[in-house]
Amino acid sequence: YLQYAAVIFYAARHPFPGFGGAFANIGGVSLMYILLGAVVVKLHYGKKKDPLQTNADRIRMIRGVANFYAWVCILMSVLLSFSIAQKLLKLETWGPFAGTVFFLIITLLLLRGFSAPPRRPEADGLGFNPVR
């Protein structure tokens, strides 16, 4: 976020056509951070929608969503910094490459969410219990 703000303030000193201003760009990214954070807080403190969901499954789901949103926030500020830097350096041909890398990383992060929950050995009787 600080790196993004530094790039924005540098771009404000050397504006280009289509630049919306430093505070509008930083405000937009800050608003996105606030909205994604509010979604995580609502998931954490809100009412449970699935009555059959265990507390451990709910915590695992919230942890996965929060982790994904944190990565999205980091990648969003890096991608926006890169897009502004490419306009400042007149390297518009790198735009499709940056978008492709961004969506590839997002896809890989989404695939991490499809992993199976950790197995509970005591549930299937395969756990080691020396007190039997």
The distance from CA 106 to its chain's CA centroid, rounded to whole angstroms, is 8
Can you read off the two tokens belonging to residue 28? Answer: 């937009």
Longest dimension (CA), the chain: 75
pLDDT digits (tens, 9 = 90+) for 43-68: 989 888 888 888 888 888 888 889 88
- Residue range 111-129: average pLDDT? 66
Sequential DSSP letters for 2-64: HHHHHHHHHHHHS--TT---HHHHHHHHHHHHHHHHHHHHHHHHS--S-TT--HHHHHHHHHH
pLDDT digits (tens, 9 = 90+) for 78-112: 888 888 888 888 888 888 888 888 888 888 888 87
- Confidence band, pLDDT 50/70/90 cuts, at residue 40: very high
pLDDT at 123 exceeding the cut of 80? no
